[in-house]
Amino acid sequence: MDNKTLVLGAIVMITLVTTVMLATHSAFGAILFSEFGLGVDDRKAPLAITGDNVYVAWWTNKTGNDEVMFRASTDNGATFTDKINLSNTTGAESRNTEIAAQGDNVIVTWWERNSTSNEPVLRISTDNGQTFGSLLRPADNGTIGESG
């Protein structure tokens, strides 16, 4: 083989490994990408707006465990409430937050991940984000109920 073939093969192999790691979010992949600064960070702070209300949710690791945080504004974003920890889980990492709102209702979803589980969860507010109901697990069979 010539050098061009070897270089092309190496590029294809690196691309495949990178794609597989991104798709699986494996622990090794997360370490590899963070250690080598390859720019893989799925952190976002999605917003939802309805009327004068602005809602924002995000995940953070300030406590040493990934948690989902939430803040609300009822004056078009001029001021916000204190942050609320929606996930508050110690046995899983809470990531990939999304948010939606309509009228007085706010729904925040995210993924709970640990070594044995990777599942979507959500919490719902019916009072403009002042309070939230229990953690719900839509991936379970049957009616979506409270987590246990």
Q: Dump pLDDT digits (tens) for 44-86.
A: 788 999 999 999 999 888 878 889 999 999 999 999 999 999 9
The residue ranking higher by pLDDT, 8 or 133, is 133
Q: Is residue 125's pLDDT more than 60?
A: yes
pLDDT band at 116 (very low <50, low <70, confident <90, very high): confident
123: its two tokens = 């919490």
In this prediction, residue 2 carries a pLDDT of 54
Average pLDDT, the chain: 77
Write the burial class of residue 39 (CB in 10 Å: 0-12 exposed, 13-18 middle, 19+ buried): exposed
Per DSSP, the three-state class of 86 is: coil
The pTM (predicted TM-score) of the whole model is 0.68
Domain definitions of the chain by residue range: 3-35, 47-125
3-state secondary structure 21-85: HHHHCCHHHHHHHHHCCCCCCCCCCCEEEECCEEEEEEEECCCCCCEEEEEEECCCCCCCCCCEE
The residue ranking higher by pLDDT, 3 or 102, is 102
pLDDT band at 95 (very low <50, low <70, confident <90, very high): confident
